[in-house]
Amino acid sequence: MSDLTDKVRARAKELLESGEVKLVIGHARGTTPYRSRPHFASTPEQTADLIHDVTCATNLAVYVSKPKEKVAVIAKGCDARSLITIINEGQAERGNVVIVGVPCEGKLDEGGLLERLGFPRQVKAVREEGEEVVVEGTEGEVRVARDEVVMPNCTYCRARTPAVRDELIGDPVPAREEADSYPDLAELDAMTEAERAAFWHEQLSKCIRCYACRNACPSCFCPECFVDEYHPQWALHGGGQFRGNWMWNIGRAQHLAGRCSACGSCQRGCPVDIPLMLLNRWMERATNEAFDHLAGMSEEQKQLAALFRKAEAKVEHG
Amino acid sequence: MPRVGVFVCQCGTNIAKSVDCAKVAEEAAKLPYVAHAATYVYMCSSAGQQMIEDAIREHNLSAIVVSACTPQMHQKTFEGCTERSGLNRYMSTMANIREQCSYVHKDPELATQKALELTAMAAAKAARDEPLFQSEAPINRKALIVGGGVAGIQAALDIAEAGYEVTVVEKTPSIGGRMSQFDKTFPTLDCSACILTPKMVEAYQNPNIRLLTYAEVEQVGGFVGNFEVKIRKHARSVDEEKCTGCGSCWEKCPQKKIPSEYDEQLGPRTAIYVPFPQAVPLVPVIDRENCLKFLKDRCGVCQKVCPANAVDYTQEDEIIEDTFGAIVVATGFDVWDHSDYGEYGAGQIPDVISGIQFERMLNLSGPTHGKVLRPSDGKEAKTVVFVQCAGSRDDQHGYPYCSKVCCMYTAKHAILLREKAPDAQAYIFYIDIRATGKGYEEFIRDAQRKYGAQYIRGRVSRMFRQGDKVRVFGVDTLGGGQVKIDADLVVLATAIEPRHDAKALSQLLGIGCDNNGFFNEAHPKLAPVDTMSAGIYIAGAAQFARDIPDTVAMASATAAKVVGLFSKEKLLSEPSVANCDVNLCSGCRACYVTCPYDAIEMTEHDDRAARMTRMVACVNENLCHGCGACSGACRSGAMTLRAFTDNQIEAQVEALCELVPA
């Protein structure tokens, strides 16, 4: 049992016992030792199932929707960014959300993990040791550098310690130095416009319009999504409709401009492996450079649409 | 099924010269929902309008498209046609094939294609038009005037004359403004006070006018017809009701050396003071920052000597809340501070003064009792150098614009100088002489010929103290060569600039400022006293440098606007405003933070389906200008603009895509 898990349980128990909050949203062990699932503790006893380790990837802000009573969220940096974003957008009152920050050095990208590790047998446990992740199986253990098994967005994370928080469990860790240089976009940048169009044509053709990306995203909270509307019908329905796929995916990315916490939940949720984070990060770079705006990094920040800078006219992206 | 009629205007040859209008009509007839298409030489003529009205009836049209000029010109004309033939007036759409097509494209084939595309888009929109209805709001028939200078006074008098109540808010203790500081006015040389003070008295006595001096507008809410305004009336420390203006208090006040704002720091005033003898109201104020009673709790002389028992040290600021139907902004101007102009002595040479200081000096009741004296030693000035365009037409130190009045007031100064001291000599450095008003050019010539003012075309490069003189170096670009003058006094025709707090006031009122900081008019030619906010008008130098006749004319223009507004029974608002579908609204506030007119409020919505009360956006239709910023910011499509719904815009894009070759 990791140190952080103990602290999270203790703090959650305290919050519920004192009556300070009515609910603690955190993680519990999932169906396998390398997965977690969201856990909702409303009694002190239920905090015994809480965990916090390298498997706790889900952005928990998605479960916070206009709470009437005080809720505590065990929040990584990206969860906190999302919480601040939705609070700024009227989806929760700041006074009703206790951001219990936890430091994060990256969360496991569990999709296809075993294949990638060449790990044919059952996994018994996953733990972090320094800069390594240790996967223990029935036939011995594999050690692997953390950056190789965490979600790609964790390798350029700018919020490894929650920027806005009410408290912090554990010790702060510094942001990744790569955060502002956008190494993940280098490949797209190197392409010509035509190559980029072809790349996205290929990627977006795969979309089956299951909207898992939308469901996983804390910033997607509209009562009715534009893509579900019929008057006008922005995007033709059904997978395989390239034009509709294009409208949906580009529309989604644009609607997330200045609102994406780079948690990677959309990409993690995508069953056909569309690199959605590339779109999100492309938008983040544009809005960051034009408006000096990063979603959820400060409580005072305005919504992107309310910002104006004379310099914005000069920013160009292909 | 919508039945759209398309009417293609040739605008004489303005459109027809590069657009094949017959072909546009012919092709437009094949577009979806288009039931009739025609072309005519002047659609806006009576015959053209009749043609549209007849076609609507004959072809049973449900909406029309007029492909012609900009809707700014003739939208209302064709709305009228539509209404007269029995349709809702908003079932009409204009496609601009003149300014946006024929004027800018020479190739007939391409221009014709573009005209067709614009027409097709308009037809796609028109097919989805829905009848719209104007909403009504009551009018509160009281006007607020911000600024009690000659502009504010004139506007107040004109509006009051029409029978409406007016409140004038003036920041200083007296109305009168800049004009009260002037000695004489150009080009007639009549005494400024003599022509202004009757108006001041008239304003004071008019039962329809309420003067709030020593007061400022603190908050403005609401909209045309119903502006809710909070005014802070600063504590005067003197009871306006009791005070008789006898003057005992300011005669006895021991604090006698406070630089007078009215005399532009050239003379002193007391701590309890009226800015000038003809002040209206003639009620002094106590300058609490300089009063011994307030500084050290000593003295109290004014209270002791006041025969009316009017001095009240405990008076507090008063907040007055009222509702007004219209607002006139007439806050005037500031004078550019030459202290950052190093070449002109950086404000450190006492004998280099500004034009408005010289104005006070010339005045008989001014600090020097009308004598032209050097501030440094009080000696009479004989050689006076005037420098025009100080801070104007100067990108480096001041402003790019021409301050408009400096040529004229400098000529006036030169004339008055010679009248005061016949042996004095004026030298005037100028770039160009701008004298475009009635009698202005003759006035300049008089200054040169009758009063011997020496005009030197060129700029002054620097000036500095030389003994008890100011040595001025300049260039004479007509005569050639350097000019060196040892002057007793240098008068800078300093630029007219926006009030230092104009920006703050513009934000309070929701009206824009231009690049230089003057208030923005709605249209430079056709709406020079309107602002982009309905019901708020601007007069005088708050809009740009103005002379007195222009200022007074503008003030009367604003009064005509206000009176016109008040003469309506009810206010009708345009229906093409934003509208929120609360079922789609997530309450994310994107529209709320984006709206430039504060027209969106977040209100509670009882969502029965979700069994909860949630916050949603709600549009105040009276404040909404229909700009569409909210609709663009809205992700769920809850916020739409009537007459420009998402559905219509999408149909326009589709229509365009159909026509443009891939």
Question: Tell me: the pLDDT tens digits for B239-265?
Answer: 999 999 898 899 999 988 999 999 988
The phi, psi pair for A59, rounded to 5°, reads: -80, 110
Distance (Å, rounded) from C-alpha A56 to C-alpha A34? Answer: 9
| Residues B143 and B555: beta-carbon distance below 8 Å | no
CA dihedral B599, B600, B604, B607 (to 10 degrees): 120
The predicted pLDDT at position B23 comes to 97
Percent of chain B with pLDDT over 70: 100
The reply to whether A18 and A88 lie within a common domain is yes
Instruction: Match 């050019």 to its residue by tokens.
Output: B441
Task: State pLDDT tens for residues B335-369.
Answer: 998 887 888 888 788 899 999 999 999 998 889 98
pLDDT band, very low/low/confident/very high, at A119 (cuts 50, 70, 90) = low
Distance (Å) from the alpha carbon of B271 to chain A's nearest alpha carbon: 44
Whether residue A316 is predicted with pLDDT greater than 80 in this model: the reply is no
Distance (Å, rounded) from C-alpha A311 to C-alpha B147? Answer: 36
Closest CB to A305 among B594, B637, B650: B594
pLDDT band, very low/low/confident/very high, at B533 (cuts 50, 70, 90) = confident
Residue A70 belongs to domain spanning: 3-109+150-314
In sequence order, what are the beta bridge partners of B615? B604
Residue of B nearest to A251 (CA): B635
Distance (Å, rounded) from C-alpha A262 to C-alpha A78? Answer: 7
The reply to whether A168 and A184 lie within a common domain is yes
Say if the Cβ atoms of B647 and A231 lie within 8 Å: yes
Q: Burial code of A158-173, b = ≥16 C-beta within 10 A, e = fewer?
A: bbbbbbbbeeebeeee
Choose from A10-14, A245-249, B419-423 the range with maximum mean pLDDT. Answer: A10-14
Closest CB to A226 among B588, B593, B635: B635
CA-to-CA separations, B519 to B23, B495, B539, in angstroms, rounded? 47, 17, 10
Task: State pLDDT tens for residues B580-613.
Answer: 999 999 999 999 999 988 889 999 999 888 788 8
The predicted pLDDT at position A120 comes to 59
Distance (Å) from the alpha carbon of B502 to chain A's nearest alpha carbon: 21
The reply to whether A186 and A234 lie within a common domain is yes
Q: Which positions in chain B touch A303 (Cβ < 8 Å)?
A: 589-590, 593-594
Whether residue A84 is predicted with pLDDT greater than 90 in this model: the reply is yes
The reply to whether A34 and A123 lie within a common domain is no
- Total tally of structural domains belonging to chain A: 2
Whether residue A313 is predicted with pLDDT greater than 60 in this model: the reply is no
The reply to whether A156 and A84 lie within a common domain is yes
Distance (Å) from the alpha carbon of A10 to chain B's nearest alpha carbon: 33
Mutate to test the interface with A, among B128, B581, B586 (most CBs of A within 10 A): B586
Percent of chain A with pLDDT over 70: 94
Task: State pLDDT tens for residues B16-25.
Answer: 999 999 999 9
The reply to whether A245 and A125 lie within a common domain is no
* Interface list for chain B against chain A, based on CB atoms closer than 8 Å: 583-590, 593-594, 602, 610, 612, 614-615, 633, 635-637, 646-647, 650-651
DSSP assignment, residue B303? H
The mean pLDDT of B26-41, rounded to a whole number, is 96
Whether residue A236 is predicted with pLDDT greater than 80 in this model: the reply is no
End position of a domain, from candidates A100, A123, A149: A149
Sheet holding B489-494, edge to edge: B352-354, B489-494, B383-390, B425-430, B454-457
The predicted pLDDT at position A240 comes to 63
Q: Which positions in chain A touch B586 (Cβ < 8 Å)?
A: 89-91, 221-223
Closest CB to A90 among B588, B635, B646: B588
Closest CB to B593 among A226, A232, A305: A305
| Strand-pair category, B460-466 with B165-169 | unpaired
| Residues B315 and B235: beta-carbon distance below 8 Å | yes
Domains of chain B are 4-132 (3.40.50), 142-332+499-566 (3.50.50.60), 334-497 (3.50.50.60), 577-641 (3.30.70.20)
| Strand-pair category, B226-233 with B318-324 | antiparallel
DSSP assignment, residue A29? E
For residue B154, what are the contacts with CB-CB under 8 A and spacing of at least 6?
Answer: B199, B539, B551, B552, B555, B556, B559
Distance (Å, rounded) from C-alpha A19 to C-alpha A39? Answer: 19
For residue A269, what are the contacts with CB-CB under 8 A and spacing of at least 6?
Answer: A212, A213, A215, A216
The predicted pLDDT at position A118 comes to 75
* Interface list for chain A against chain B, based on CB atoms closer than 8 Å: 66, 88-91, 221-226, 229, 231-232, 234, 255, 302-303, 305-306
The mean pLDDT of B126-155, rounded to a whole number, is 94
Distance (Å, rounded) from C-alpha B480 to C-alpha B474? Answer: 11
The predicted pLDDT at position A312 comes to 56
The predicted pLDDT at position B259 comes to 93
Say if the Cβ atoms of A91 and B588 lie within 8 Å: yes
The reply to whether A167 and A209 lie within a common domain is yes
Poorest-pLDDT segment among A225-234, B160-169, B212-221: A225-234
Nearest to A287 by CA among A305, A265, A267: A305
| Residues A303 and B593: beta-carbon distance below 8 Å | yes
pLDDT band, very low/low/confident/very high, at A307 (cuts 50, 70, 90) = confident
Whether residue A1 is predicted with pLDDT greater than 50 in this model: the reply is no
How many interchain CB pairs under 8 A, A with B?
A: 57
The mean pLDDT of B157-179, rounded to a whole number, is 95
pLDDT band, very low/low/confident/very high, at A95 (cuts 50, 70, 90) = very high
**Taking the alpha carbons of A112, A118, A121, A125 in that order, is the dihedral positive or negative?**
negative
In sequence order, what are the beta bridge partners of B425? B383
In sequence order, what are the beta bridge partners of B210? B167
Distance (Å) from the alpha carbon of A24 to chain B's nearest alpha carbon: 22
The predicted pLDDT at position A275 comes to 95
Task: State pLDDT tens for residues B367-422.
Answer: 998 889 999 888 889 999 999 999 899 888 889 999 999 999 999 999 999 988 89
CA-to-CA separations, A124 to A1, A93, A135, A137, in angstroms, rounded? 13, 41, 8, 5
Whether residue B528 is predicted with pLDDT greater than 80 in this model: the reply is yes
A130, burial (CB in 10 Å: exposed 0-12, middle 13-18, buried 19+): exposed
Nearest to B40 by CA among B60, B67, B64, B62: B67
pTM of the predicted protein model? 0.71
How many Cβ atoms are within 10 Å of A115's Cβ, its own excluded?
9
HEC string for A223-265: CCCHHHCCCCCCCCCCCCCHHHHHHHHHHHHHHCCCCCCCCCH
Say if the Cβ atoms of A90 and B637 lie within 8 Å: no
End position of a domain, from candidates A149, A178, A203: A149
Mutate to test the interface with B, among A222, A247, A300, A307 (most CBs of B within 10 A): A222
The reply to whether A91 and A129 lie within a common domain is no
Whether residue A180 is predicted with pLDDT greater than 90 in this model: the reply is no
The reply to whether A93 and A241 lie within a common domain is yes
Whether residue A318 is predicted with pLDDT greater than 50 in this model: the reply is no
- The chain-wide mean pLDDT, for chain B, equals 92
pLDDT band, very low/low/confident/very high, at A314 (cuts 50, 70, 90) = low
Residue of B nearest to A87 (CA): B588
The reply to whether A218 and A276 lie within a common domain is yes
The mean pLDDT of A159-185, rounded to a whole number, is 91
| Residues A48 and A101: beta-carbon distance below 8 Å | no
* DSSP codes joined into one string, B109-127: HHHHHHHHHHHHHHHHHHT
pLDDT band, very low/low/confident/very high, at A32 (cuts 50, 70, 90) = confident
The predicted pLDDT at position A311 comes to 58
The reply to whether A72 and A142 lie within a common domain is no
Say if the Cβ atoms of B593 and A90 lie within 8 Å: no
CA-to-CA separations, B604 to A283, B577, B631, in angstroms, rounded? 33, 21, 20
Say if the Cβ atoms of A225 and B585 lie within 8 Å: no
Poorest-pLDDT segment among A138-142, B111-115, B471-475: A138-142
- The chain-wide mean pLDDT, for chain A, equals 90
The reply to whether A144 and A101 lie within a common domain is no
